[in-house]
Structure 1
Amino acid sequence: MVEPAMTDDVIKYSTDNQEVISGAALPEDQESDILSLRPERLSAYVGQEEVIETLKIAIQAATERDEPIDHVLFHGPPGLGKTTLAHIIANEMQGNLTVTSGPALEKGGDLVGILTHLEAGDILFIDEIHRTPKSVEEFMYPAMEDFAIDFVFDKGVHARSHRYRLKRFTLVGATTRVGLLSAPL
């Protein structure tokens, strides 16, 4: 039987006098565990068994090749864990996660700025990727395929092109409207 006991600064619910709820401050290293409701590893993710199994295989293969995981697109209704899976991929691959959304990328320069700051093995998560403007998508294709971006300087007869090599990254896209994605994505 659980018996609640209250004091000035501590509320206890215990069957064996072990403190369960406390008003005392947590050590910093435990604070993030309590505040995060999002699983951090595939082993802690509940549901979507087929997706999880596919991701396990892809992550294991990428790890054995010592390469980033291939680009990933998650689609489905809201609330199925697309964003959570992007966080898990970053944790499993030990890469930094950069999060943005399609509508936030208003022009090509927005995406270029993000891509040029990614390190090898980092994960770029674009939520609502179906809402990415076409002008931004044009920068996305060579970045995903060749890990490079082409810049054109000047105009007319003075125009010249420069190819900027990107570090190998993984793009994870999420959409609730897969039918609105452009054909190349």
Structure 2
Amino acid sequence: LASVLPRELGTELQITSGPSLSAPKDLLPYLTNASHGSFLFIDEIHRMPAAVEEFIYPAMEDFRVDITLGEGLNARTVNMKLQKFTVIGATTRSGMLTAPLRDRFVRREHLDFYEDLELVEIVRRNARKLRTPITDDAAYEIARRSRGTPRKANNLLRWARDFATSKADGNI
């Protein structure tokens, strides 16, 4: 879904995740490489540490970052201008977003979880991609246990495929 806007606008998309941004230095390459009008998608944005959140605030608001060079008395801060870009954040746990981070997003959209029958179609399609035969009942059982989330459905499908391959005839 995050790729739709950049594709329609013909601009770049960088993708990262909150857990992979353990320190501001991990976020810096994404910010400095962002081109004018590009997008930065941060999946599981609620899992960014506080230091990374605080580092991204001036980038989101003023398109700049403050970089500290040196240590102690010799330390100095350099203000680096950035190209104008857009941050898209995704989370299944919006309650874990801090208010300061949440408030910096002008638009907030809530997407409903998928219905079981929608997930059945996703499971069937991905089973075909995996070249794994699956019965309608098995696709439904996987969908039902996925708590409305395609990622969980795909993980369960891969687990079922691996189990069926190692313990049975490869059919789910």
Fold-level similarity (TM above 0.5): yes
* Corresponding residue number in structure 2 for 1:147: 63
Distance in 2 of aligned mates of 1:111 and 1:138: 11
Distance in 1 of aligned mates of 2:35 and 2:5: 16
Question: What's the CA shift for 1:88?
Answer: 0.7
Question: Structure 1, residues 69-128: CA drift from partner, whole Å, max 9, x if none?
Answer: xxxxxxxxxxxxxxx1x1111112221111111101111101011111111111100011
**Larger C-alpha radius of gyration, 1 or 2?**
1
Extract structure 1 runs of 4+ deviating beyond 6 A. Answer: none
* Corresponding residue number in structure 1 for 2:88: 172
Higher strand proportion: 1
* Corresponding residue number in structure 2 for 1:27: none
Alignment partner of 1:90 is 2:90: no
Q: Which one-letter code corresponds to 2:78 in the other structure?
A: H
| Unmatched tracts of structure 2, length 5 or more | 102-172
Alignment partner of 1:129 is 2:45: yes
How does the TM-score come out when normalised to structure 1?
0.53
How does the TM-score come out when normalised to structure 2?
0.57
**Percent of aligned pairs sharing the same letter:** 50
* Corresponding residue number in structure 2 for 1:58: none
Q: Which one-letter code corresponds to 1:181 in the other structure?
A: L
| Unmatched tracts of structure 1, length 5 or more | 1-83
Higher helix proportion: 2
Equivalenced residue count is 101
Question: What's the CA shift for 1:141?
Answer: 0.3
Alignment of 1:108-127 (within 5 A): 108-127=24-43
Higher relative contact order (CA closer than 8 Å, sequence separation 6+): 1
* Corresponding residue number in structure 2 for 1:138: 54
Distance in 2 of aligned mates of 1:153 and 1:104: 23
* Corresponding residue number in structure 1 for 2:78: 162
Q: Which one-letter code corresponds to 1:90 in the other structure?
A: P
